[in-house]
Structure 1
Amino acid sequence: MTEENYNYRASQTLLRNQFPGRGKLKIPVIPKFQERAGDFNDLLLIGFDKTHLEDQNHLDWMVHFFLYDYRFERVWKNPDSDIEKLARYRAVLSPDFSMYLEMAPVMQLYNVFRNRWCGAYWASKGIRVIPTVNWGDESTFDFCFEGIEKGSVVAVSTYMASEHDNRQDQDD
């Protein structure tokens, strides 16, 4: 094995195993959010795609990822790229990787893993993280809450929620 092959094989970018997780799936655990007085008073959210290192006007806001996945894929591919910027905000919601009903179940599970890994990673860097929870259908309930401590504050988007199987919003 070449040194280049070994370095790739042993890299955290590939392995993502520094957070042992719990249970059979070993989904990383996002530490429970330690609420401070006023955290949820006059709460405002800013989309990740609107954050900037130079921002001085929104630092008391929380950063959300209720966006199309391609707008924040880089937090998974290059997890250190936005640490300095994200650390400046009041808190950060873990990335809301999609759980489309059409996805293979293993892809839905992978997106839960990516959500929790990013949240655990940011928390390890001193960023205050609120887990974002999402699910597909009942079959995802077995794993969609993995990596979230009981009694945690969580964020949930209802953007894709619809009544009577009407999913026309998914076409936008």
Structure 2
Amino acid sequence: MMQTYKYSRNSWENQEKAIFDGVGMYDIPVIEPEEYHHVEWIGFNSARTTQKRKGKGIHFFLDDYQFTRIWKYPNQYVEMLKQFDFVMSPDFSTYTDFPNVLNIYNHFRKHWVAAYLQAHGVHVIPTISWSTPDSFDWCFDGEPHESTVAVSSVGCADVLDDFIAGYYKMVERLNPSTIIFYGKVPEQCKGNIVHVKAFTDKWKEAKTNGW
């Protein structure tokens, strides 16, 4: 009875569903590489209401509260997400002012969900994130090399130097073949970049144009 209750309340942090071989000092689950083709990217918060799913990809560059449910109830989303061409790994936040343990936990959650989705046939593109240079010791663990990755500059204006430093380190460590870049691309960021305008930028442009 007690064991059933614990499983039903998710107190096992999803390890009752799957335990993946991990890498690095924190046993981070590995995300396998994906070969990218052009798609239209939409937020996870629009996934259920989107009727035409072929040719589209799902991103998680949203406030965390809009997608924590995929960590709590991953099985509820697998079949739906398989209908999209790609799904980015959930962008659980890593902040420069967070305790390090919370950032590491969010990195683990991102990779567990990604590995779980891949194990069930979803095509996952890893979202790369970091906080301060101290995070470089673990924030690239589990990411594929010479493959497609995704990053976002949204919300990084106040910590741009840390963002640029992390971007350079990502390129050095992972040597990505394609970088899907959500938001404004700083001029210092180089590589095979596929630019995706942030929703807020699209909204501002539409407002400026009187739409």
Q: TM-score range by the shorter chain?
A: 0.7 to 0.9
Q: 1:6 to 1:161 in 2, by over 3 A?
A: same
**What's the TM-score once normalised by structure 2's chain length?**
0.68
Q: How many Å separate the matches in 1 of 2:32 and 2:11?
A: 20
Partner of 1:25: 26
**SS of the residue 2:58 aligns to:** strand
Partner of 1:104: 99
Partner of 1:45: 41
Partner of 2:61: 66
**SS of the residue 1:141 aligns to:** helix
Which has the larger share of helix? 2
Q: How many Å separate the matches in 2 of 1:135 and 1:8?
A: 32
Q: How many Å separate the matches in 2 of 1:130 and 1:15?
A: 21
Question: Offset at 1:129?
Answer: 0.3
Partner of 1:154: 149
Which has the larger share of strand? 2
Q: How many Å separate the matches in 1 of 2:60 and 2:13?
A: 23
Name structure 1 gaps, 5 residues minimum. 167-172
Instruction: Read off the aligned partner of 1:30 and give its amino acid letter.
Output: I
**Aligned-residue RMSD, C-alpha:** 2.4
Q: 1:111 to 1:148 in 2, by over 3 A?
A: same
* 8 Å CA contact retained: 1:97, 1:114: yes
**SS of the residue 2:54 aligns to:** coil
Q: How many pairs does the alignment contain?
A: 158
* Percent identity over paired residues: 36
The higher-RCO structure (CA 8 Å, 6+ apart) is 1
**What's the TM-score once normalised by structure 1's chain length?**
0.82
Q: Which runs of 4+ in 1 moved over 6 A?
A: none
Question: Offset at 1:97?
Answer: 0.5
Q: How many Å separate the matches in 1 of 2:80 and 2:139?
A: 28
Q: Deviations over 1:40-84 (max 9, x none)?
A: 2xx3101000111x6332431110000000000000011111111
